[in-house]
Amino acid sequence: MLKAVRRSKQSSLSVNIAIIFVGLLILQPVTGSQGKSTLQDDENARSLLVKVASTYANLRQFYFETLETTETLSKGFKRSSQVRYVTAADTEGRARFSASSAVNSDLAVFDGSIHWNVAPFLRQYTRQNADSPTFTDDAHTDPRVLDARKAALRYKKRYAAVATRLLNARFINDEKSKRQVSVEASYSMPAGMPKGKIFRRYWIDTKFRLVTRELSIASIANSNTEYPTRVEQVIAFSSTAIGNDIPAEAFVFTPPSGAELVEQFGVTSNSVSRLENRRAPQFELQGFDGTTYRSQELIGKVVLLDFWATWCKPCRIDLPHIDALSQEFSSQGLVVLGMNTEPRDRSQTFFEHQGYSFPSLVDLDATVSRRYLVRSIPTLVVIDREGKISSYLVGLYPEERLRSELSKVGIR
């Protein structure tokens, strides 16, 4: 754990704020708090946001600890998440980025000469020199490996753009104080995005012109339905430091206990044994018919996840066997779910043409695939009734092997 950030004798900032998040707050319209009507433009509020943007644009040394609470709402759909972030950088080029939630975690550190990345689920970490092509060649990308120097800019970039696409802004008078003010603002949508509205409320430290909390509400048009998608987000800064107050240990990497140093992340013979009996990563995805499948609601059943693609020849050989197992053992509590990262229309057309009976879920941004560390397909994961991984199979296996793996969790 990083130590609490404290104020130094220099003029650098260290703010530790205890945030009490009231659930009702996120439901209040940004333009209607305290019964106020339409948002009126205030040149002084605009000017402050421009100064805030300049502050972040010129930051060279910073350390932020935050909690982001996000809720996405649409007709018949609701998704919530909480993620804790640590982002830090200094003038020596060092950087740190970590993100942790109930379903996933990432850690990347650059200590000035070595890039370190951790995959907690696999209990693996990588070590790469600063001149590694992974971090010097823009055409070379590995979504499992983060460049801490870029990831650490999360809030620097966000608030350096606080005055970009700004339509109007105003102070919330009842929130004013000598040390902190509150500003409400509305924005136009980014170019290329669907029609919509963005409202944000910022709590701003007036001495250092830094954001201490943000409430954001975006309403985005949905091309598939008349109902818009509403995204509500609270960003609460629990620790902030700039200048010389950054904790020295922020740029020190210590390998997690029991973690294995590997050249690249992936399921190896060593890691497979460590995956077994571990809690399976959670997921919440929709099937082709719009039904939402949540891993937490499947506790008590045996789940077989099949990561596949339409272009994968071994997958095409495997799918009929998977479908047969689904039909044969559904009465025993077996739930078979496909996982596909292709556009819905492509995977749905293929699936329906083949006449498969089990549902396949749309993992378009590969979030779930990354959580399960899928590097090649087909990959099959058997999850027992307690929600733990029983088997992790990469590649094509005969049906007899699949039946054997299912028998281990009482499906026979």
**Confidence tier at 274 by pLDDT (50, 70, 90):** low
Question: Hey, what are 160's tokens?
Answer: 């350096």
Question: Which residue has better confidence, 333 or 271?
Answer: 333
Q: Model confidence over 211-248: pLDDT tens digits?
A: 999 999 999 886 666 778 899 999 999 999 998 889 88
Residue 15 scores a pLDDT above 50: no
| Number of domains present in the structure of the chain | 2
High-pLDDT (> 70) share of the chain, %? 83
Residue 208 pLDDT: 94
Q: Is residue 263 part of a domain?
A: no
Residue of 53, 57, 59, 46 whose CA lies nearest to 13:
59
Residue 92 scores a pLDDT above 90: yes
> CB-based contacts of 400: which residues, under 8 Å, 6+ apart?
none
Segment 125-139 shows an average pLDDT of 82
Residue 268 scores a pLDDT above 70: no
Contact predicate 105/281, CB 8 Å? no
246 with 285, same domain: the answer is no
Of the listed ranges 172-176, 215-219, 324-328, the one predicted with least confidence? 172-176
Q: CA separation (Å) from 161 to 154, 208, 246?
A: 11, 17, 23
Alpha-carbon gap, residue 56 to 159, rounded angstroms: 6
198 with 324, same domain: the answer is no
Ranges 55-64, 187-196, 269-278, 388-397, most confident: 55-64
In the chain, what is the straight-line distance between the N-terminal and C-terminal CA atoms, in Å?
46
Residue 294 pLDDT: 92
Residue 36 scores a pLDDT above 50: no
Alpha-carbon gap, residue 245 to 236, rounded angstroms: 20
Chosen domain end from 251, 267, 298: 251
Question: Which residue has better confidence, 64 or 29?
Answer: 64
β-strands 229-242, 210-220 pairing:
antiparallel
Q: Is residue 226 part of a domain?
A: yes
Handedness of CA 9, 12, 15, 16 (dihedral sign): negative
Residue 31 scores a pLDDT above 50: no
Residue 47 scores a pLDDT above 90: yes
Residue 88 scores a pLDDT above 50: yes
Residue 163 pLDDT: 96
373 with 320, same domain: the answer is yes
32 with 124, same domain: the answer is yes
Q: Is residue 258 part of a domain?
A: no
Residue 395 pLDDT: 87
Residue 96 scores a pLDDT above 80: yes
Question: Hey, what are 21's tokens?
Answer: 């998040």
Q: Is residue 256 part of a domain?
A: no
Q: Model confidence over 371-405: pLDDT tens digits?
A: 887 878 899 999 999 999 999 988 888 889 999 99
Alpha-carbon gap, residue 117 to 137, rounded angstroms: 18
Alpha-carbon gap, residue 393 to 304, rounded angstroms: 11
Segment 60-71 shows an average pLDDT of 96
Q: What is the DSSP annotation of 181-222?
A: EEEEEEEPPPTTSPSEEEEEEEEEETTTTEEEEEEEEEEE--
Q: What angle do CA 338, 343, 345 make, to 5 degrees?
A: 90
- Structural domain boundaries, residue 317: 277-407
208 with 120, same domain: the answer is yes
